[in-house]
Structure 1
Amino acid sequence: MEFTAGKLNKFLFFKLPSAFLCGVRVKEIDGMRCVVAVRHRWINQNPFNSMYFAVQAMAAELSTGALVMHHIKKSNRKISMLVANNKGNFTKKATGRILFTCQDGHLIEEAIKQTIATGEGQTFWMKSIGINEKGEQVSEMDFEWSIRVK
């Protein structure tokens, strides 16, 4: 699969329908950066009239995971990927359109080289920051990815 925003959104529809129904969409992706958007709506709200934390986590995880998938595809090797751990910090109510941006693509290449060279699993942390329409940070999420050659 070529890694474009449109193809990733089609992938979401078929493989992660709950994220798709909640409005999570990839907006941009290249080897180093991925931007995912989600808008606060009735279907993804919490009782406090803001976006449910799990919807924010889906969007943030996708911004990191799509980069991992991109680099695995580029390696032409069969490599498994799994979230091993995650951390989240919520600093403001998430309302309106939130953009989650991960700029940690550079971390993946070295981990893939190491797992191919050694055959051992590798782990690395990636950060995604959620920004609202006013440019204010609403959340910051970190995901520890584990990869291993199959």
Structure 2
Amino acid sequence: MFSALQKANFYLGTFGFFKVPLIWLCRPKLLKLDENEVELRIPLKRRTKNHLNSMYFGVLAVGADVAGGFMAMSKAQQRGKRVSLAFKEVEGKFLKRPEADVHFICKDGQLIDDMLDETLRSGERVNQPVRIIATCPSLHGDEPMAEFSLVLSLKAR
């Protein structure tokens, strides 16, 4: 019927619309979601760009948030467990102006699995930085436009 990626995109859209409308307004679309990696795209449109016709840095932060957080939510749901998820710190390096659709890639699936294992075993909050790279493949291939480090905080509920 529907692929896992289609279901994940439906969930992301619904979550954004009802829980975090700014995510919904940015229109992220998951392109890849597997055990180790998530990749999503946010289109460069009127509502996501700044006065320089590049992606507004707040939208870049939304993309990094979704890329880092969606994998953790997805993995917890796959396990049938409820976890509290938040970001405690954010560090961003803006390297080049993203003047096209931006792809956000997080390859920290194993780290997130380890964090889930620890919080489910101990019941304590676990904090670890996850790394997200933002690229503009249509203009610059795999060259990073921005790099983010977000401290993901997970706690079993």
Q: Give the secondary structure class of the aligned counterpart of 2:117.
A: helix
Q: Are residue 73 (structure 1) and residue 73 (structure 2) matched?
A: no
TM-score, normalised via structure 2 length: 0.86
Q: Are the counterparts in 2 of residues 34 and 67 from structure 1 also a CA contact under 8 Å?
A: yes
Please point out which of 89, 92, 99 is paired with 2:93: 89
Paired residue type of 2:119? T
Q: Give the secondary structure class of the aligned counterpart of 2:54.
A: coil
Which residue does the alignment assign to 2:49?
45
Q: Are residue 63 (structure 1) and residue 70 (structure 2) matched?
A: no
Paired residue type of 2:127? T
**Structure 1 residue 5, shift from structure 2 partner:** 2.9
Q: Are residue 16 (structure 1) and residue 20 (structure 2) matched?
A: yes
Which residue does the alignment assign to 1:147?
154
How many positions carry a matched residue from both structures? 149
> Percentage identity across aligned positions?
26
TM-score, normalised via structure 1 length: 0.90
Which residue does the alignment assign to 1:121?
125
Which deviates the most, 68-77 or 21-30?
A: 21-30
Which deviates the most, 138-147 or 10-19?
A: 10-19
Q: Give the secondary structure class of the aligned counterpart of 1:89.
A: strand
Q: How large is the Cα RMSD of the aligned pairs?
A: 1.7
**Structure 1 residue 143, shift from structure 2 partner:** 0.9
Query: C-alpha separation between the residues in 1 aligned to 2:46 and 2:83?
Result: 38
Query: C-alpha separation between the residues in 1 aligned to 2:8 and 2:29?
Result: 12
Unaligned runs of 5+ in 1: none
**Structure 1 residue 6, shift from structure 2 partner:** 3.5
**Structure 1 residue 8, shift from structure 2 partner:** 2.2
Paired residue type of 2:116? I
